[in-house]
Each structure stands twice: as structure tokens, then as C-alpha cells.
Structure 1
């Protein structure tokens, strides 16, 4: 039997807005977009890593109660969640490409720890580090 992480989920305030951001601006691809009643299972993946999905989920019942869902929305919007990391070959080139696509960066590329990194947030407030792979 094989085990491993197939989906890592993040909470988003608006799944359509998140879909536009991750597919339209970052170049991810849709893996699954399915609804069951009021629940939508939406996952995307990086084109070079189709085996790992990023779940773009709404905090909502039955997973959490409505008060908890509102609290999660507020925490995510403030950028209080740990950043996700996107590894790229050339951080400065990726920064230019994403900026041209409309991604707003909170930190321009800087040299640090023998690499280059930059920071941005998705429309829901989730933080991302864009890190250049070390050779």
C-alpha cells in the first residue's frame, strides 16, 4: 500500500476568486471541481506536480460551525496563517511574471540565506513565499 499527502488544503473566502488567482495568475491547473449540495470540493495543482493537490476550501458546516467559519475567515484575511512555499528556478523572473499577471507582492525579491525569496498573499489573505531553488 502506498501512502502520502495527496491534498493540502487552505481556507479561502471565495472559491471562484481563488480559482481565478491560482489558475489565472499563478498558472496552476484545476484538478477537481465538484459540488455536493452546498459543499464544493475544489483542488488545483502545479503543472509540474500533478500528484500534489492544493485544496481551496471554504470554512463551513459540516466541517466547522458557522461561528468558527467566520472566525477562520477573519484570521485568514489578516494573513495570520503560516505561509505556503512555492519553489521556482528563478525568483526574480517569477516575480516579474506573477506581477505582470496582477499578483501583488508584499516583499520584492531579496537575497537571503544563499537564495532569493519574495512574498505575496492570495485574495483571501493566505501568505506565500516564492523561493528560488538552490543549485
Structure 2
């Protein structure tokens, strides 16, 4: 079977505000913005953005009654250099958590979009390990595995 995740719908309260955040702060590119005159969605807009390095895109949606703005969690942006990306996002004005070492061995930081949708910035673990690290490992372990 030849399938992949193509689009993730992100529930927002205002497409313009969300589009500005994803484009200006996260560097996403708008790849489609047009009227959504499909089925019962007349008068709405389809806004689709792609991360800077491509891959799965997002659509900013306002029309799903079961998807309240800010209700999405676990979205993950992956980077090869979390320290540089973290610094760049903070410089762009994003409130982002400190970098930590996750139980599964990746280096992570978290942030939210203007509606409260929860994102994870992740750099895969640089070295193979027999078992995931402990949450209580000292900061030096985080530095060794997460920082350039």
C-alpha cells in the first residue's frame, strides 16, 4: 500500500492570524489559499501551508464543530539542529520551552500557536542507545545529545 499523511487540519479561530503566525514565525509557505465552495462549506476559505523543508502540509480550518480552536496536540516539527532552530524561533518572538531530552531519546522543546494548538519541536537522538534515557538524567546528558 502506497500511502502517507498529506495534510493535517489545524483548528484555528482566525485564519488570517494563524496564517501570519505560521508564515512569519515558523517560516511556513502558503501553497494554497482559495474559496472553499465545496459541499456545505460555501463562503469559507481553504488555507494550506507547507513547512520550510517540505513534507506534510497543514490546513487552517474553522469549520469543524468537533475541532475547537486550540484543541490539537502532539504536532511535531522535526529539525536536524534543535539548538539553532530553537534560537531562531525565540528570536522571531515565539515563546518556546527549554530544550529537554525526552524519554524516547529525542531532544524536544514545546510551543503553542496563537489558538493554543500544542506543537513539539524535535531533533532525533544523535546516537543509538540500548534503552531510552531517564527523565532525571543531568543537564550534561541533554547537552551531549541535543546540542551541536
What's the TM-score once normalised by structure 2's chain length? 0.71
Gap runs ≥5 in structure 2: 37-41, 127-148
User: Residue 111 of structure 1: CA displacement?
Assistant: 2.3
Gap runs ≥5 in structure 1: none
- Which structure has the greater CA radius of gyration? 2
More helix by share: 1
CA RMSD of aligned residues (A): 2.1
- The aligned length equals 120
Which residue number in structure 2 is paired with residue 43 of structure 1?
Answer: 48
Q: What SS does structure 1 have at the residue aligned with 2:99?
A: strand
More strand by share: 1
Q: What SS does structure 2 have at the residue aligned with 1:21?
A: helix
1:100-111 superposed matches below 5 A: 100-105=91-96, 107-111=97-101
1:1-135 superposed matches below 5 A: 3-36=3-36, 37-49=42-54, 52-58=56-62, 60=63, 63-64=64-65, 72-73=68-69, 76=70, 80-105=71-96, 107-113=97-103, 114-135=105-126
Contact kept, 8 Å, 2:11 with 2:72, in 1: the verdict is: no
Q: What SS does structure 1 have at the residue aligned with 2:94?
A: coil
What's the TM-score once normalised by structure 1's chain length? 0.77
